[in-house]
Amino acid sequence: MSLESLLLPAAIVDQIVASLIDTLYMVGVAGALGTALGLPLGVFLATSRGGEIFAAPVANTVLGAVVNATRSTPFIILVVAIIPFTRLVAGTSIGTSAAIVPLTIAATPFIARIVEGAVREVDPGLIEAARAMGATPLQVVRKVLVPEAMPAIVLGLTLSLVSLIGHSAMVGAVGGGGLGDLGIRYGYQRFMPEVMLAVVVILIALVQFVQSFGDTLARRLDRRTRRE
């Protein structure tokens, strides 16, 4: 690959920028929806075991099985398997908006398990102290469990976003748009390795930024929690 071949035409650069925006859109919306669904689900899974503040063993077992089944399904198979549902929700099975559906479904159980693990690591003594002071179960969750678990939750959400970036590239294989779709159409099908290289470099840079930002935010939250 010569140096001249690495200089991309303006039209390709425009395509890369548009695909990057599509990727950020998919990851951002799917991450937000996955967090909105996975956070309460994870808290419930952590607090609904036998003897916990929202003890509901049957519901915990059923939801846990659903979460495990979804997590164990390879993402590309999940994308294909839920095409009818994606078409029902998004009105189409291709494009960035359609890709958000499987990305959200894949992210939700992953985030739920991360949140569950973070909440279960909270010192039981803090929960007992809050209950002794008359706090209701919901107050324990809002005032104790979530704030104490927040640094670990942020680290988990960072990992989830990194996974979503990888999944967003993978969904390009089935017409999901974004950088993955661009890499396949131009880098592979049209034999333009410089485009594939550009896509890989951008994805690596995006992952590095998300990871660094998440690590920094988690450290700041951890210091603030310790001071309080």
Q: Can you give the residue ranges of every domain in the chain?
A: 4-227
1 pLDDT tier (thresholds 50, 70, 90): very low
Segment among 29-33, 97-101, 129-133, 209-213 with least mean pLDDT = 129-133
More confident site: 134 or 156: 156
pTM, entire model: 0.86
Average pLDDT of the chain to the nearest whole number = 87
Answer yes or no: is pLDDT of 228 > 80.
Answer: no
Out of 19-23, 43-47, 215-219, 222-226, least confident range: 222-226
Torsion of CA 175, 180, 184, 190, to 10 degrees: 110
Q: How far apart, in Å, are the Cα atoms of 134 and each of 128, 130, 149, 224?
A: 10, 7, 21, 25
Alpha-carbon separation of residue 101 from 30, 33, 47, 75, 216 (angstroms): 7, 10, 28, 12, 29
Predicted local confidence at residue 226, as pLDDT = 57
Lowest mean pLDDT, pick from 5-14, 23-32, 75-84, 87-96: 5-14
Q: What pLDDT was estimated at residue 224?
A: 57
Distance of CA 153 to the CA centre of its chain: 12
- The CATH architecture that domain 4-227 belongs to is Orthogonal Bundle (1.10)
Using CA atoms, how far apart are residues 58 and 63, in angstroms rounded to an integer?
9
